[in-house]
Structure 1
Amino acid sequence: MTETIELAPDRVRAAIAENPTTRARDLADSLGISEAQLVAARVGQGATRIAAHPDRLMPAAGQLGEVMALTRVPACVHEKVGRYENYHSGQHASMVLAEEIDLRMFPSHWVHAYAVETDGEQGPRRSLQVFDAGGDAVHKIHLRPGSDHAAWAGVVEGLAESEQSDRLVVEPRVPTEGPKSAPDKVDVLRKEWARLTDTHQFLRLCSKLKMNRLGAYRIAGAPFVRRLAPGAANTMLQTVQAEGIEVMVFVGNRGCIQIHTGPLQRLREVGPWQNVMDPGFNLHLRLDKVAEVWAVEKPTQRGPAISVEAFDAEGGIIFQVFGVGKEGRDSRPAWGRIVEGLASAEEAAA
């Protein structure tokens, strides 16, 4: 577990003032604190501690009109523009099923939250930011010029907590779980995998066999998985863009999974980053952080679900991409051909 130190709020605020263009996560890391502690230091000076539970936050976010939803992992940032509508509460998992914003949320990881306001060249920049127990960002909601800024003050007042300290104690950060396999159970894994009828059953199968996703992929073999070259992640994005098909792009951390459904129209590679820069959807992927890529096939009642999944060097999942199987918008055949054409790890090595 990673420990964070306690830094006096005035020192944190001074560091923020001295580094106005540094990304919050990067600045927090350089100070040896969590991002949530960085934000907490501004309480009373542009930040307000608010209720973190999705049951409180999601209806409030719906009052803000069109906003930008952001969910990230260390190697990838997923941004969607839309409205927070059609919220479904759940004890263990909640959902937003709006036309543009599509989220799966796990409330036990929504622990700390803040409403944040900073000065910008074109007016105040406002956001609602949620963090887990270790102080890592789970989900952020950024207002845009066209958002309902008139509703902001009322939303913050309605969500504000009675405790407004500029200090925050966080739990030690839980490290990424590396690949976990049980080779002695590979026959059971393959037998049960072939019997799946829904993709959501897969993680329950892994848990039952004392494995995790990447560990299962490493031992399952054909026809269930094929290890691809790390560069296949970028090739896949470029081919999807070139062929104009629709895909579903999942990026998620422990507390939130965010989904884009649609085409990838504009790619822009800058340094180690591959960027999707589409109206209403941006994706920022650190190509140099992609350590493993897998083509995965799971049987379902509607036919095979084929995905391309990328992992970092610690074994954390970066993204999953599936073909769209909606009636009238079925990209699965074209998607299957794209995945089949991606170079395997063995071919790239050769």
Structure 2
Amino acid sequence: MADSQTASQHPPSAQEIRDALADNPKTRSRDLATQLGITEAQLLAAQTGHGVTRIAAHPDKVMPAVEALGEVMALTRVEAAVHEKVGTYANYHPGPHAAMVLADEIDLRIFPKHWCHGFLVEQESDAGVKRSLQIFDAAGDAIHKVHLRAGSDLAGWEAAKAALASGETGDTLDLEPRQPTEAAKSDPAKLDVLRKEWARLTDTHQFLRLCAKLKMNRLGAYRIAGAPFVRQLEPSAVDTMLETVRDRETEIMLFVGNRGCIQIHSGPVRNLHPMGPWQNIMDPGFNLHLRRDKVAELWAVEKPTQRGTAISVEAFDAEGGLIFQCFGVGKEGNDHRPAWKEIVEALPSREEVSA
């Protein structure tokens, strides 16, 4: 990812960006932005009035318009993973700090304060016009994208342009410095309190509040908690986990999220296609593209709940950023999932790494 602070020192002009786009029509937007030393959001802003419309980015405005688009592809990513789901947006629940989309296929947790810059994009391609709605944070990094498909509602698209257009015509973008990933934060002096309170959890959502209270974060707590709460796994166990889930037809919930949006797939994994450093799930309606070489730490985690023990496998990058979380899908009202538990227990530990 290009650093927005560096990019802001000697950025190319909007015309230079448009010239680079014309000279590199086959280059992916994300890759071209990196080559130019700018963010994806700046690349789009430079095209304002040239197939790009600036829009109001708040999810309370965006979601009603997206619901009218019919079947689309929802995309949420972090540096090491791209999560794509095909479906229809519905059942939006607003909230000042956290909002949700709870549709059959599209399952999102949204943090509105990070929905800062928005664009409706119409790009000519060999297959015709490609249309997308793209949301970015204050630093210009992608938060969430909605890509129209062949069966999407074009009348809904035109209505979205009318409803969301901000009227801004500028082709540059004022960005804030990117906030660095928070490194693992532990406090071994509070280990006894951490373990005691962890054992008393009744809901997985209480865990981050416990970490905040103890001035730790998720990865920092994992590094010191020890058994029976956590077990560090070999990073290569990512493949083993996905292959076993596929082979045993075990349904999972797979979360990928950034500061502004978490996207969730619930269901089976059927088609794995590794390619170089990438492991790819290529299923109808769900794709995951995971950079296995970016998985620096992998943890098996157990949290008690009122509905049974919730077991997850969680991957982190070298900076301490969360790449994905994976849970088993159990019966309604029960977090204890024996088939998933068996899979996780068989994954190899990373014994040589000390807490």
After TM superposition, list the pairs within 5 Å mapping 1:133-148 onto structure 2: 133-148=138-153
Counterpart AA for 2:187: A
Task: Name the SS for the 1:30 alignment partner.
Answer: helix
Instruction: Please name the residue that 1:247 is paired with.
Output: 252
SS in 1 for 2:351: helix
Aligned to 1:130: 135
Amino acid at match of 1:119: E
Asked if 1 retains the 8 angstrom alpha-carbon contact of 2:312 and 2:326, the reply is yes
* Conservation of the 8 A alpha-carbon contact between 1:2 and 1:174: no
**1:226-237 to 2 correspondences below 5 Å:** 226-237=231-242
- Structure 2 unaligned runs (5+)? none
Q: Shift in Å at residue 151 of structure 1?
A: 2.2
Deviation digits for residues 33-77 of structure 1, max 9, x if unmatched?
111101111100010000100000001000100000000000000
In 1, the alpha carbon distance for the partners of 2:323 and 2:39 equals 21
Q: CA deviation at 1:165?
A: 0.9
Determine if the alignment matches structure 1 residue 298 to structure 2 residue 303: yes
Question: Pairwise mapping of residues 150-161 of structure 1 onto structure 2 (< 5 A)?
Answer: 150-161=155-166
| 1:256-335 pair list within 5 angstroms | 256-327=261-332, 332-335=337-340
Question: TM-score scaled by structure 2?
Answer: 0.95
Q: Aligned partners of 2:106, 2:77: CA distance in 1, in Å?
A: 15
Rounded to whole Å, the distance in 2 between the matches of 1:127 and 1:160 is: 14
Please give the alpha-carbon distance, in whole angstroms, between the structure 2 residues aligned to 1:2 and 1:150.
36
Residue of structure 2 in register with 1:32 after alignment: 37
For residue 120 of structure 1, what is the aligned residue in structure 2?
125
Q: Deviations over 1:105-156 (max 9, x none)?
A: 0000000000001012222100000000000000000000011123212211
Deviations 1:7-42, CA, capped at 9 Å, x for gaps: 210111112222223232222122111111011111
Alpha-carbon distance in structure 2 between the residues aligned to 1:306 and 1:130: 32
1:167 to 2:172 alignment: yes
For 2:347, the aligned partner's letter is L
Letter in 2 for 1:195: R
> Shift of the alpha carbon at 1:330?
8.2
Q: Which residue of 2 aligns with 1:197?
A: 202
Tell me the alpha carbon deviations over residues 322-346 of structure 1, each in whole angstroms, 9 at most, x when there is no partner: 0012339988111000000000012
Q: Structure 1 CA distance, aligned partners of 2:333 and 2:312?
A: 20
Moved more, 137-146 or 323-332: 323-332
Secondary structure in structure 2 of the residue aligned to 1:258: strand
Q: Is the 8 A contact 2:307 2:333 kept in 1?
A: no
Tell me the secondary structure at the aligned position of residue 197 of structure 1: coil
Task: Check if 1:17 corresponds to 2:22.
Answer: yes
Q: Distance in 2 between matches of 1:95 and 1:223?
A: 32
Give the match for residue 8 of structure 1.
Answer: 13
Note the alpha carbon deviations across 1:175-200, whole angstroms, 9 max, x for none.
11111111111111000000000000
Contact map agreement 2:4 2:38 (CA 8 A) in 1: no
Listed one character per residue, the Cα deviations across residues 190-240 of structure 1 (whole Å, up to 9, x for unaligned) are 000000000000001111111110000000000000000010111111110
Q: Residues 116 and 129 of structure 1 are in contact (CA less than 8 Å); yes or no, is this contact kept in structure 2? A: yes
Q: 1:345 aligns with which of 340, 350, 354?
A: 350
Counterpart-to-counterpart distance in 2, 1:146 and 1:348: 50
Q: Distance in 1 between matches of 2:304 and 2:240?
A: 25
- The answer on 1:54 being equivalent to 2:59 is yes
Give the aligned residue type for 2:308: G
State how far apart, in whole Å, the 2-side matches of 1:182 and 1:348 are. 18
Distance, in Å, in 1 between the alignment partners of 2:71 and 2:247 is 29
Moved more, 328-337 or 28-37: 328-337
**1:48/1:128 CA distance change after superposition, 3 Å:** same
- Note if contact 1:246-1:331 (Cα within 8 Å) is conserved in structure 2: no
